[in-house]
Amino acid sequence: MWSCAKECDAMDSIDFSTAQQWSLGPYILGYEHPLLIISQETVEQTWAVLGIALIIMLILRILVTKSTIARFIVFAGITFLVNLVKQSLGYFSFPHFCFIATLFCFIALCNIAPLVPGLEEPTRDINTTLALSIIAFAYRTFYAIRTHGIKDFITDFFKPFFIMLPLNIIGELASIISLSFRLFGNIFGGSLITKLYFGTLQGSIIAQCIGLLCGINFLITGFFIIFEGLLQAFVFSMLALTYLALETQEEGAEE
Pair 249, 241: CB distance under 8 Å: no
DSSP string for residues in 104-136:
HHHHHHHHTGGGSTT---GGGSHHHHHHHHHHH
pLDDT value at residue 240: 93
The CA-atom distances, in angstroms, between 173 and each of 33, 102, 248 are 20, 23, 18
Pair 103, 53: CB distance under 8 Å: no
Residue 254 lies in a domain: no
Residue 242 lies in a domain: yes
Residue pLDDT, tens place only, 225-243:
899 999 999 999 999 999 9
Residue 37 lies in a domain: no
| Containing structural domain, residue 187 | 4-11+42-247
User: Cα angle vertex 118, ends 114, 123, to 5°?
Assistant: 45
Closest CA to 224 of 252, 255, 194, 185: 194
- Sorted by sequence, the CB contacts under 8 Å of residue 217 that are 6+ apart come out as 198, 211
pLDDT value at residue 16: 47
The structure's pTM equals: 0.83
Residue 232 lies in a domain: yes
Q: What does the pLDDT average to over 217-225?
A: 84
Closest CA to 121 of 192, 182, 216: 192
Q: Is the pLDDT of residue 10 over 50?
A: no
Q: Give the number of domains in the chain.
A: 1
Residue 36 lies in a domain: no
Q: What does the pLDDT average to over 122-127?
A: 91
Query: Which residues are 21's β-sheet partners?
Result: 39
Structure confidence at residue 5 as a pLDDT band (50, 70, 90)? very low
Structure confidence at residue 181 as a pLDDT band (50, 70, 90)? very high
Residue pLDDT, tens place only, 59-95:
888 888 877 788 888 899 999 999 999 999 888 999 9
How confident is the prediction for the chain on average, in pLDDT?
A: 83
Residue 24 lies in a domain: no
Residue 205 lies in a domain: yes
- 198 backbone dihedrals φ, ψ, rounded to 5°: -70, -25
